[in-house]
């Protein structure tokens, strides 16, 4: 039987939100490739396996290590938090496979996972209950003009917006710029969900009005979900308000 590369999304970090298929994929692999933080999350599944760790920033090296391992005849799992298909390593695997003849025919299975915006949404209520988009604010690989146009399009379409990679150590002004573009279209009263360290003990979820959001309170471990013009909130029994986006636009136009 031909050996296999599993590209695995392990979900947000708590094991109860990891799909059984992700567990199976890791358990059936001889080699597990990842970044240390993710490897720690699945440490109870990887005893006795060969572990290939590559640090943050060395994504291409991590992907190539997984492809080399698979091509050498060993079942291999390349792991990533959240959904490996959403702002994660799956696309880089296919890019590398297309580029190198020897890798093109490898047997690959992508195992989807629950992404950060979905957990953020679940904790806060149902802000993704109607049309939404996901935008990464990282301009490492995408020119800022492209990101800006995309934010403007999200505003024009009144999409609920999930921002991934909102800030980094060297990048702090993009989130302010993006929020200002949404603010101009949908006003400052719209609820924004700031969800940090999801699925970990340190998890924090806060809801603030778009007009009052202080971007210095957002760090690289935060996912930011901005409601659209229809998104509502009310105080329930929980600590914060529930936030939801109704299914319809009954009688309204943008």
As given in the structure block, the two tokens for residue 198 are 């999801």
CA-nearest of 86, 155, 159 to 129 is 159
The CA–CA distances, whole Å, from 17 to 66, 78, 145, 146 equal 24, 18, 36, 33
Whether the CB-CB separation of 223 and 163 falls below 8 Å is answered with yes
Tell me if 95 contacts a copy of itself by CB under 8 A: yes
Q: Is 6 exposed, middle or buried, given 0-12, 13-18 or 19+ CB atoms closer than 10 A? A: buried
How far apart are CB 114 and a copy of itself at their closest, in Å?
5
3-state secondary structure of 25: helix
Tell me if 102 contacts a copy of itself by CB under 8 A: no
- How far apart (Å, rounded) are the C-alpha atoms in residues 150 and 198? 26
Tell me if 143 contacts a copy of itself by CB under 8 A: yes
Q: With respect to a copy of itself, which residue has the nearer C-beta, 129 or 209?
A: 129
Q: Report 198-237 residues binding a copy of itself (CB under 8 A).
A: 232, 234-237
Q: With respect to a copy of itself, which residue has the nearer C-beta, 123 or 167?
A: 123
Tell me if 126 contacts a copy of itself by CB under 8 A: yes
Q: With respect to a copy of itself, which residue has the nearer C-beta, 145 or 216?
A: 145
The CA–CA distances, whole Å, from 82 to 11, 39, 243 equal 4, 13, 22
Instruction: Number of residues interacting with a copy of itself: please give it, by CB under 8 A.
Output: 84
Tell me if 56 contacts a copy of itself by CB under 8 A: no
- How far apart (Å, rounded) are the C-alpha atoms in residues 221 and 12? 11
- Nearest 5°: the CA angle 121, 144, 115 is 20
Q: With respect to a copy of itself, which residue has the nearer C-beta, 56 or 234?
A: 234
The CA–CA distances, whole Å, from 120 to 173, 177, 222, 228, 251 equal 23, 22, 10, 16, 29
Stretch that binds a copy of itself, among 67-75, 78-86, 175-183, 215-223 (CB under 8 A): 78-86
Q: Is 243 exposed, middle or buried, given 0-12, 13-18 or 19+ CB atoms closer than 10 A? A: buried
Q: Report 155-184 residues binding a copy of itself (CB under 8 A).
A: 156-159
Binding mask 36-55 for a copy of itself (x = CB under 8 A): --------------------
Tell me if 35 contacts a copy of itself by CB under 8 A: no
Q: Which of 36, 55, 100, 149 is close enough to bind a copy of itself by CB under 8 A?
A: 149
Tell me if 106 contacts a copy of itself by CB under 8 A: yes
Q: Which of 66, 76, 83, 179 is close enough to bind a copy of itself by CB under 8 A?
A: 83
Q: Which of 150, 171, 176, 181 is close enough to bind a copy of itself by CB under 8 A?
A: 150
């Amino acid at each position: 039987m031909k050996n296999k590369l599993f590209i695995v999304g392990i979900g947000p970090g708590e094991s109860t939100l990891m799909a059984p298929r992700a567990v199976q994929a890791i358990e059936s692999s001889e080699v597990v490739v990842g970044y240390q933080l993710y490897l720690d999350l699945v440490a109870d599944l990887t005893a006795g396996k060969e572990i290939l760790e590559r640090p943050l920033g060395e994504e291409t090296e991590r992907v190539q290590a997984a492809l080399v391992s698979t091509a050498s005849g060993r079942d291999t799992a390349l792991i990533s938090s959240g959904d490996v298909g959403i702002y994660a390593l799956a696309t880089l695997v296919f890019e590398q496979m297309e580029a190198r003849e020897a890798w093109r025919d490898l047997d690959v299975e992508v195992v989807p996972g629950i992404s950060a915006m979905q957990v953020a949404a679940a904790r806060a209520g149902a802000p993704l209950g109607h049309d939404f988009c996901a935008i990464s604010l990282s301009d490492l690989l995408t020119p800022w003009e492209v990101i800006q146009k995309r934010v403007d399009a999200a505003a024009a379409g009144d999409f609920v917006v999930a921002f991934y990679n909102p800030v980094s150590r060297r990048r702090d002004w993009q989130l302010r710029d993006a929020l200002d573009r949404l603010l101009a279209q949908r006003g400052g009263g719209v609820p924004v969900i700031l969800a940090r360290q999801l699925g970990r003990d340190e998890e924090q979820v806060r809801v603030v009005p778009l007009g009052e959001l202080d971007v210095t309170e957002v760090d690289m471990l935060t996912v930011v979900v901005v409601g659209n013009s229809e998104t509502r909130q009310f105080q329930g029994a929980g600590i914060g308000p529930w936030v939801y986006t109704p299914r319809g636009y009954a009688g309204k136009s943008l």
